[in-house]
Amino acid sequence: MPPRLRTSNLPSSAASSPSIRSQCLFHPIRTSRELSQTSCQQVTARRRKFYEWLNGPGAQLKEPLPGSTNYLGAYDKYGNLVRASPAWQRKSRAELQREKEMKQAEPVVKAEPVKAETEKTEGASEGQEEVDELEMQTRRDEEAKRKETKDDDQQLPPETAEDLRPFPQNRFFRSQPVLSEDLREAIYQRVKRDGATVSLASVEFGVSNERVGAVVRLKQMEKEWIAQGKILAVPYARAVLEMIPVTPFIDTSLPENKGKRPVPHEPINDLIVHPATRQQLFVPVAESRQFTREDAGKAFDNHLLPADDRIPHPELVKAERELAAGLPFEERRRLVEGRLKAEQAKKSKEEARKAAAIASLKTVPQRRWDFVFQDVSVEAVGKKGRDPRGVGWRYGFPHEDRKKGHVKIPTRVDA
């Protein structure tokens, strides 16, 4: 069957003529047009421009630069990287590959001297190899030095805010960094292995409470999947993470990061605007009366807590207050440690309660699933039989889940 033509773009007499069709069938296939598979291409100005861009300036984006984002906004319309110095040249794939291999070889070189000394005693036949290795090493060192001198104009400066615009037409959209793989792993280990509370991990890594919770849950799932032998899309994740800005993990326990501090990912102590506080209120208050933040909260809503209790990290405010009060360092440290200890105790108590609740269940394994029996009391329904704490679906109560204001989206996830 010959390829279909769109008749609206052709004169009506020509649409049915066989000569046009045959022309389309023998249309020369252009090598540069790789995206489209159809043999008959309508050449429009837009399409032509698109292919011009794809084979011209757009070709830069096809292979992402290593260690850099891959956004349209970083290039001008001729396909030049804006932030690069004029002498900068894009490295070819072969060069990159070579560099990668060099980098991989480096740790081996570092380990070599110790090994060489041990081998010295062993024999002359290995002595020859050792000389070769030494020669290689000096050559590599020289090369590295040369590279360093050359690198000044070859080195790419880090991305500015202008370069982080994926959509050049939308000047106000800036790509935000995501957590790097190392950082996520570190957060998970801090919470799971070291038993730190979520808020402590949040303060230490500069990541919000919610995000720490999400990281721990997702990491746990990832590890479960690996244990179950599920296949993860790791190359995909790595490729995506290479093209977007990431918050790096700085391991301060390592000697080379001695004086460094972790890079904060986001502001962690922002007060979330409660819907009840969105209205404007004029509350007349007697001058003689004290009107605190607690009263302000109550003015908006009777159940609204004051801002001091609603912020994600009230303990940081407390620490600042103690600092402002002029307490000595040792005293402040003692207070903070006491608070941390209390929080840890609360966490462990909660975990013990959960474990005890699960241990009290009676599990009967059957062929396909376990039947888990929980012993309840029929007395819980009360004398009138209408207590909501009673077991079972209630009689004489209408279902209210279609009523206004009943949230059906799950508000919490068990982790």
Partner 1 sequence: MVVRIRLARFGKKHAPFYNIVVAHARTARNSKPLEVLGTYNPLPQPPRPGDTFGRPWKDVRLDISRARYWIGVGAQPSDTAWRLLSMVGILEPKYRVTQVQGQVIKADSAAKSLKPAPAPATSTTLTPAE
Binding site for partner 1 (CB under 8 A): 217, 220-221, 223-224, 227-228, 358, 362-378, 381, 390-393, 395-396, 414-415
What does the alpha-carbon distance between residue 400 and residue 77 come to, in Å, rounded to a whole number? 59
* In the complex, minimum distance from the CB of residue 5 to partner 1, in angstroms, rounded to a whole number: 49
CB-based contact 178:263 (threshold 8 Å): no
* In the complex, minimum distance from the CB of residue 221 to partner 1, in angstroms, rounded to a whole number: 8
**Closer by beta carbon to partner 1, 407 or else 413:** 413
Question: What does the CA dihedral 335, 336, 342, 347 come to, rounded to 10 degrees?
Answer: 180
**Closer by beta carbon to partner 1, 198 or else 246:** 198
- A 10 A CB-CB count for 3 gives 12
* In the complex, minimum distance from the CB of residue 184 to partner 1, in angstroms, rounded to a whole number: 17
Sequence-distant (≥ 6) Cβ neighbours of residue 123 within 8 angstroms: none
* In the complex, minimum distance from the CB of residue 391 to partner 1, in angstroms, rounded to a whole number: 6
Using DSSP bridges, classify how beta strands 178-179 and 246-247 pair: parallel, antiparallel or unpaired.
parallel
3-state secondary structure of 358: helix
* In the complex, minimum distance from the CB of residue 230 to partner 1, in angstroms, rounded to a whole number: 11
Could you identify the residue written with the tokens 């909260």? 297
* In the complex, minimum distance from the CB of residue 195 to partner 1, in angstroms, rounded to a whole number: 14
Burial of 405 (0-12, 13-18, 19+ CB in 10 A): exposed
Cα Rg of the chain (Å, integer): 33
Sequence-distant (≥ 6) Cβ neighbours of residue 408 within 8 angstroms: 401
**Closer by beta carbon to partner 1, 108 or else 357:** 357
Give CA 130 to chain center in angstroms: 46
**Closer by beta carbon to partner 1, 59 or else 357:** 357
**Closer by beta carbon to partner 1, 282 or else 397:** 397
What does the alpha-carbon distance between residue 201 and residue 186 come to, in Å, rounded to a whole number? 10
**Closer by beta carbon to partner 1, 112 or else 222:** 222
What does the alpha-carbon distance between residue 285 and residue 265 come to, in Å, rounded to a whole number? 42
Return the closest-CA partner of residue 22 out of 5, 36, 38, 7: 5
Cα separation values, 146 from 91, 92, 142, 266, 373, Å:
17, 19, 6, 39, 73
**Closer by beta carbon to partner 1, 317 or else 361:** 361
**Closer by beta carbon to partner 1, 278 or else 383:** 383
* In the complex, minimum distance from the CB of residue 370 to partner 1, in angstroms, rounded to a whole number: 4
**Closer by beta carbon to partner 1, 65 or else 216:** 216
**Closer by beta carbon to partner 1, 26 or else 371:** 371
- A 10 A CB-CB count for 301 gives 13
CB-based contact 62:42 (threshold 8 Å): no
* In the complex, minimum distance from the CB of residue 398 to partner 1, in angstroms, rounded to a whole number: 13
Could you identify the residue written with the tokens 């209120």? 281
* In the complex, minimum distance from the CB of residue 357 to partner 1, in angstroms, rounded to a whole number: 11
Return the closest-CA partner of residue 90 out of 119, 111, 73, 70: 70
* In the complex, minimum distance from the CB of residue 395 to partner 1, in angstroms, rounded to a whole number: 5
CB-based contact 268:212 (threshold 8 Å): no
* In the complex, minimum distance from the CB of residue 185 to partner 1, in angstroms, rounded to a whole number: 17
**Closer by beta carbon to partner 1, 330 or else 414:** 414
